[in-house]
Amino acid sequence: MRKKNFNIFRRISILVFVLITVLGVLFMGLTYYATTHFHLASTQLLNKDVAAHIVKFASPYDGTEINKRKADSVFKNAMIISPSAEVYFLDTTGNVLDFYGPTKDIKLWKVALKNIDKYIASKGQEYIKAPDPRDPAYPKIFSASEVKNGTKKYGYIYVILGSNEYRTVSDMLFSSHVSNLAIKAFCFIIIVSILFSLLYIKRMQKSFQSMIGVLEKFQNGDYTARFAVKDNAELAPVSLAFNKMADLLTYNISQLKLSEIERKDFIANISHDLRTPLSIARGYAETLQIKKQDGSITDKEQDDYLQMILKKTLQVEHMVTHLFEISKMQFPEFKINKEPFVLSEIVQETVNTFQLKAAAKNEILKCAQCQYHVWINADVSLMERVIQNLVDNAVKNTPENGVIKVGLSVENNKLIFTIENPGTPLPAGLLDWINAPVNDNEEYINLPGKSGLGIAIVKKILYLHNASLTAWTQNSLNTFTFSMTIYNRDASV
């Protein structure tokens, strides 16, 4: 199979590279910021008492004014001991009164006292920066203490803990050592991360290519193509979902093919059933026309021909009516209208209606225990159609002098209707179809040939009432039965 290029993986690779690079830069920046912040905060905390010690043990203020010589000595010694420190004496407004070093080095002669007072109030516990008179553009950590004589404040000893020289040396060391190490570490992390990311993406791309291959097979008609599912694979849920969908789709396709075959058989059977009475009616009509033209037909023959034409026409009408009823019940919009009624009344009325038709064939139609005054909740017109079709089917298929028995019985809160008649045993295929569970999708399609549509209508109506038809043949008697749940009128009130 030809490998396909997936733009999505190229885009993912670029995105991963950009994300890793951006995150690496951010990590380095945050790390540098955090370590610098930690170093400065710890340095300030460790040296918080430097200014206080100068005030306590070597104050340059002699009580009335600054002792310039003493101040220079103290400031110089402090800067010798700690080269990163710069010592200033500020008055109460922040003006620089004394320091050690050339005057030209001072860029800021008045320091804002807000942060200094805040630092003194916190007793050196807070991380605070203040301006450096020599480098005011870069605030620095400091130590500060008030110079007092009793309750009178004369100024501040202000010690910058990171001088210009310290910052220069730090920058040089960072550029020569730390930055090189950081860049190497960054490049190593980027390369390793990208390598593992590309390997993972390559693996994902291979899985996608395999999936595309299965999809192409399925698209080309190979409905057996399925994904190989690995429990720990990233795409396992997708593979399982596709396999289930493919199984369902394959099943539906097979059912559609089967339904199409059954539909063609059904149309062929119906066409034959319709064509037969129409051909007979047409033959009698043509014969009647020919004999009438040559005057060789008697009045009795004419009546017989007309009766036969009418009979076959009614037969076609009956079949078309059944087809219409079945088609109507297949619509999703079709709803049954349930209401409580007594089934025995419909049974007795139907039996009485068919007595004349049964008598014409010398058949005996009788109803046993049809006096059960039991209520059911169902569609009256549809249940009447069920009884009529079953009785009509029995009358049609019972030989002369046969006895048709219709009966009602009650068992386990069920009203059971049974009808049995002698005649030709029901074919095995028809029995299997009647006793099989009803399929929602046009169960009349696979109705065995030459069995009529009345039974299909009965099955459909009973299915709509959550009931089912059962049939069997025993001792040359064909039996049909169904049961309905008894309706308790007292409980429903």
How far from chain centre, in Å, is Cα 343?
A: 47
Strand, helix or coil at 196?
helix
User: Is 408 within 8 Å of 372 (Cβ atoms)?
Assistant: yes
Do residues 242 and 323 share a domain? yes
Do residues 286 and 381 share a domain? no
Q: Which of 277, 306, 328 is the last residue of a domain?
A: 328
> Does the residue 84 lie in any domain?
yes
Low-confidence ranges of the chain (pLDDT < 50): 1-2, 442-445, 493
Residue 171 structure tokens: 């920058």
User: Is 341 within 8 Å of 387 (Cβ atoms)?
Assistant: no
The CATH code of the domain that includes 425 is 3.30.565.10
Q: Which of 97, 132, 160 is the last residue of a domain?
A: 160
> Does the residue 224 lie in any domain?
no
Do residues 343 and 301 share a domain? no
pLDDT of amino acid 493: 46
CA 129-135-140 angle, to 5 degrees, is 15
Expressed as residue numbers, the domain containing 441 is: 335-492
User: Is 78 within 8 Å of 145 (Cβ atoms)?
Assistant: no
147, with CB counted inside 10 A (0-12, 13-18, 19+), is buried
End-to-end Cα distance, the chain? 72
Cα distance between residue 48 and residue 161, in whole Å = 10
Cα distance between residue 367 and residue 404, in whole Å = 8
- Containing 376, the helix (H) or strand (E) segment is strand 375-378
What number of helices (H) and strands (E) belong to the chain? 13, 12
Do residues 297 and 365 share a domain? no
**What are the distances in angstroms from CA 268 to CA 263, 429, 448?**
8, 18, 12
pLDDT of amino acid 211: 78
Q: Which of 293, 312, 328 is the last residue of a domain?
A: 328
> Does the residue 347 lie in any domain?
yes
pLDDT of amino acid 406: 94
User: Is 160 within 8 Å of 140 (Cβ atoms)?
Assistant: yes
Do residues 340 and 483 share a domain? yes
pLDDT in tens, 209-268: 777 888 888 888 887 888 777 766 666 787 788 888 888 888 888 877 877 776 676 666
Do residues 362 and 443 share a domain? yes
pLDDT in tens, 4-58: 555 666 777 777 778 878 887 888 788 878 878 888 888 888 888 888 888 777 6
Q: What is the maximal distance between C-alpha atoms in the chain?
A: 164
Do residues 382 and 487 share a domain? yes
Do residues 344 and 441 share a domain? yes
Do residues 318 and 457 share a domain? no
Do residues 251 and 387 share a domain? no
Do residues 358 and 445 share a domain? yes
Can you give the pTM of this predicted structure?
A: 0.47
In sequence order, what DSSP letters do the residues of 255-285 get, joined into one string? HHHHHHHHHHHHHHHHHHHHHHHHHHHHHHH
Cα distance between residue 386 and residue 364, in whole Å = 20
Do residues 347 and 475 share a domain? yes
Cα distance between residue 96 and residue 75, in whole Å = 14
Q: How many domains, the chain? A: 3
> Does the residue 225 lie in any domain?
no
pLDDT of amino acid 86: 84
